[in-house]
């Protein structure tokens, strides 16, 4: 299904210390928008393998999302999103924007 993930129910999360970590994407759309807030709390981390096994091809990370991704906490994994996106995201300065996979390549565009 092509569309945009807009619902909090598309994500499994862990809330702690006034912040939210996305632990799993369980929606069916391929173009995911990471919300700035879930359960009224700021999204600060996209956890290791949060998109593992999904068919996601694009992730929009908003300027309001503060990501705290460490090398050991790769945000994407598995066959549809792999470690290369994490490297591309970090090399690209962790900018807010749209990250898209086409074949085996990643691209970035500002929102």
Identify which of 90, 33, 26 has the alpha carbon closest to the alpha carbon of residue 58: 33
pLDDT digits (tens, 9 = 90+) for 68-98: 554 444 455 443 354 566 677 777 777 777 8
Length of the chain: 111
**pTM score, two decimals?**
0.68
Spans of all domains in the chain: 4-101
pLDDT bucket at 67, cuts 50 / 70 / 90: low
Strand partners of residue 23 = none
pLDDT digits (tens, 9 = 90+) for 9-62: 899 999 999 989 888 889 888 888 888 889 999 988 887 778 878 888 888 877
Contact predicate 60/98, CB 8 Å: yes
Residue 111 is predicted with a pLDDT of 64
Higher local confidence (pLDDT), 64 or 28: 28
Residue 85 is predicted with a pLDDT of 66
Which tokens sit at 48? 């290791």
Which tokens sit at 36? 């700035």
């Amino acid at each position: 299904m092509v569309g945009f993930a807009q619902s909090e129910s598309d994500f499994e999360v862990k809330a702690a210390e006034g912040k939210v970590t996305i632990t799993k994407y369980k929606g069916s759309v391929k173009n995911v928008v990471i919300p700035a807030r879930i359960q009224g709390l700021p999204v600060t981390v996209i956890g290791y393998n949060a998109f593992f096994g999904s068919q996601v091809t694009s992730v929009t990370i908003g300027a309001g999302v503060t990501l705290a991704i460490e090398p050991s906490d790769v945000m994407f994994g598995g066959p549809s999103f792999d470690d290369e996106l994490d490297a591309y995201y970090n090399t690209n300065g962790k900018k807010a924007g749209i990250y898209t996979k086409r074949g085996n390549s990643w691209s970035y565009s500002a929102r």
